[in-house]
Amino acid sequence: MYGTVNESLTFFDDRLHASAWENAAGSDREKALKQASHMLDRLSWAGERAAAATVRTAQIAASGYVTSEKLINEAGLTQTHAFPRGTDTVIPTTLKEACFLVAYALLIDSADVNEDFATLGVSSEGHSSVRVSYNSDRLLPHIAAGVPSFEAWQMISPFLQENNEIEISRVS
């Protein structure tokens, strides 16, 4: 889990409109943090998990080159979450805060997060003289990625892998 319930309470102490988080049962806050952590883990982050980076560095130090991508990939799978990454040993504060925001969005939104996708295809909606239209050809990037908080998306998007980025490695 990215961050603890106590860390989240400290984070929300300095924010407006955080009473829903403060008043929620401790078990609900923990469930929301776990779900938010899993949602963030599914994103395509730049770089590799710290466990994989450690094996890669050891291979290069021992032989001057990468000897087994398979061992590196297996090491990455032993790490429970996507962070820490690379040579980091701690989870970045930005990611923890983004996790808190996603957890908050999950907690205050009584509907299933997946229901957001149902309304994105609506081309027009109205009542009396009020009408709202949606562009069904364009998904909001944070919703398309499964992140219900736009503020969290703004915080984490610089750390995501670019869509046009590919990784090529030569194995001899």
Do the domain assignments include residue 149?
yes
Tell whether the model's pLDDT for residue 100 goes beyond 90: yes
Structure tokens at 78: 């032993």
pLDDT digits (tens, 9 = 90+) for 60-99: 999 999 989 999 999 999 999 999 999 999 999 999 999 9
- Mean pLDDT score, 11-21: 92
- How many Cα atoms sit within 13 Å of 8 on the Cβ side? 31
Q: What does the alpha-carbon distance between residue 56 and residue 54 come to, in Å, rounded to a whole number?
A: 5
pLDDT at 144 (0 to 100): 79
Do the domain assignments include residue 171?
no
Do the domain assignments include residue 20?
yes
pLDDT at 116 (0 to 100): 59
Do the domain assignments include residue 125?
yes
pLDDT at 143 (0 to 100): 79
pLDDT digits (tens, 9 = 90+) for 35-61: 999 999 999 999 999 999 999 999 999
Do the domain assignments include residue 127?
yes
Number of domains within the chain:
1
Q: What does the alpha-carbon distance between residue 33 and residue 5 come to, in Å, rounded to a whole number?
A: 8
Residue 129 belongs to domain spanning: 5-45+82-159
pLDDT at 130 (0 to 100): 75
Mean pLDDT across the chain, nearest whole number? Answer: 86
Tell whether the model's pLDDT for residue 169 goes beyond 90: no
Q: Quick one: three-class SS letters along the chain?
A: CCCCHHHHHHHHHCCCCCHHHHHCCHHHHHHHHHHHHHHHHCCCECCCEHHHHHHHHHHHHHHCCCCCHHHHHHHHHHCCCCCCECCCCCCCHHHHHHHHHHHHHHHHCCCCHHHHHHHHCCCCEEECCEEECCCCCCCCHHHHCCCCCHHHHHHHHHHECCCCCCCCCCCC
pLDDT at 3 (0 to 100): 93
Q: What does the alpha-carbon distance between residue 56 and residue 67 come to, in Å, rounded to a whole number?
A: 9
Written as one letter, the residue type at 29 is R
pLDDT at 24 (0 to 100): 93
Structure tokens at 61: 């130090």
Query: Burial level of 52, CB count in 10 A (0-12/13-18/19+)?
Result: buried
Query: pTM for the complete prediction?
Result: 0.79
pLDDT digits (tens, 9 = 90+) for 122-162: 556 667 777 766 665 666 788 778 898 999 999 999 999 88
Do the domain assignments include residue 64?
no
